[in-house]
Amino acid sequence: MNELIEQLVALQEIDLVIDKIDGEIKQEQDGLDGRISSLVEREGRISEQEALIEELEKERRTLEDEMADKIAHVKERQSKMMQVQTSREQTALLKEIEDAKKNVKENEEKIVSIMEQVENLTTETTEEKNILKTEKSLVNEEKKKVKTVIDGLSKGKKTKKNKRDKQAGAVNGSMIQKYEILRERRNGLAIVNVLDGVCQGCFMNLPPQKYNMLLRGDQVLECPSCQRLIYHQEM
């Protein structure tokens, strides 16, 4: 195998290990971030429920004030009944009293409904807060575990990175630039093996002439289909 190709294959092996470590770090961090997002969502739901409870309580107080006014009005109208002198005035007062009592009853029903809603929401909110407290404790423990795992992975990555830098330094400058571009464009695989005339990057057949050139191993060649650097090594 061409010496330059050997250097690039060795470099890519290190890069693939680093890619794997990066993936593991991301997976650990994403898992933790997902748990934290769930906490934030639950906190948001609790805040919304508490705001709704406050709104309902405000509505209840307003209805109670209105009801107190209506009851006072009924009493005032009832006392005035003793002073009416005509049946027409009596009929008007009776209707006014009846309407006021109807409003009082409607307010009472609304207040009962609101109190039931508040009771249910308060129960739900208490349950949510208990769950949140437990989840926060679990997430705090998970943070410690994830930090330990990521610290270990990062340490391993640093070792591989140092080895990578040393290996990359041994490769021709223009070729390392080409390699980096191909890695970026070809999902991390800049150089691939060719087995039985088939590129293991794009799985297309190489033209026979190019395959024969590759077998000689004295040139740096590219796959005509995917433009990756290619080499031949029996598995």
pLDDT of the chain, 235 residues: tens digit per residue: 788 999 999 999 999 999 999 999 999 999 999 999 999 999 999 999 999 999 999 999 999 999 998 888 888 888 877 777 788 888 888 888 888 889 889 999 999 999 999 999 999 999 999 999 999 999 999 999 999 999 999 999 999 999 999 999 999 889 999 999 999 999 999 999 999 999 999 999 999 999 999 999 888 999 999 999 999 987 6
CB proximity list for 70: less than 8 A, separation 6 or greater: 100, 101, 103, 104, 107
What is the location of CATH 1.10.287.1700 in the chain? 17-171
Please provide the CATH number assigned to the domain covering 17-171: 1.10.287.1700
pTM, whole model, 2 decimals? 0.76
